[in-house]
Amino acid sequence: MRTTVVQMSPGHDKAANLAQAERLCEAAIAEDRPDIIALPEIWTCLGGTREDKFASAEVLPKPGSNEPAGEAYGFLQNLARRHHIHVHGGSIGERAGEKLANTTVVFDPRGAEIARYRKIHLFDITAPDGKEYKESATYARGEEIVTYEANGTRVGCAICYDVRFPELFLKLRQAGAELIFLPAAFTLQTGKDHWETLIRARAIETQCWFAAPACCGPHTEGSGGVRYSYGHSLIADPWGHTVAKASDGIGFTTARIENEVTLRVRADMPVLEHRVLA
């Protein structure tokens, strides 16, 4: 299954972000002809004020309903339908009462929604440079483990900060995952030291492929300060090798997910069967 991860540099202008996503996705599909394409975390509105985030967020239709869809949801759905591919929508802001949810939606080649995942672990930390992040001030945490099937491959859902919690990925492996998507907007400070190391570790532990589309470059916060996302979107195999990585700046990269590699790695080192402290 040819898998493409898209690297974006979004800000808090939703219309500009949608235009950037469309340009990159259309170019990636034309050049690399993927079976599934994925966008980064919260690509519709990165930075800005709390009000900006709420203004860009969407009320998602109930799966299978004919309820009207927002611009980002409609873009992802139409992209899948028009090109007859699976689209893993990174994550977008979902209106969920007084707070938002950081939500992944996935569409099959008919444009039908087949998965919806809300980020479980929220980024409430102080970075090495002293900057504070309080995701829980705007977003509510999700609760459900989510997988879906795409072209005969069982796919697991995670988002960004989730990568630091291996128990989530064990549960995805136990649920049958062979490929895990990790859309992200990793900070520059944490990304340069931890991004690739954590992804490769989770790939080795779970013996799953990892596809990690990421945001890159600067964005402006509501306070007026500028923060930077690390980028370096990548795809890793179940042995922990990085098999594709995006260059600096916006773009995309593609790799072929090979199920025979997964089977061989798991047969040679059956760590799930050997697990004692599950």
Sorted by where each begins, the domain ranges of the chain are 2-274
pTM above 0.75, yes or no: yes
2-274 has CATH 3.60.110.10 classification: yes
- Enzyme catalytic residues: 41, 119, 160
Residue 120 dihedral angles phi and psi, to the nearest 5°: -90, -45
Name the residue among 58, 53, 71 with its Cα closest to residue 10. Answer: 53
- The structure tokens listed for 17 are 């972000």
Rounded Cα gap, residues 107 and 86, in angstroms: 6
pLDDT in tens, the chain (278 residues): 999 999 999 999 999 999 999 999 999 999 999 999 999 999 999 999 999 999 999 999 987 788 889 999 999 999 999 999 999 999 999 998 999 999 999 999 999 999 999 999 999 999 888 888 899 999 999 999 999 999 999 999 999 999 999 999 999 999 999 999 999 999 999 999 999 999 999 999 999 999 999 999 999 987 778 999 999 999 999 999 999 999 999 999 999 999 999 999 999 999 999 999 87
Long-range contacts of 167-174 (CB under 8 A, 24+ apart): 168/120, 168/121, 169/202, 169/205, 169/206, 169/208, 170/205, 170/206, 170/278, 171/145, 172/145, 172/147, 172/206, 172/208, 173/206, 173/207, 173/208, 173/272, 174/272
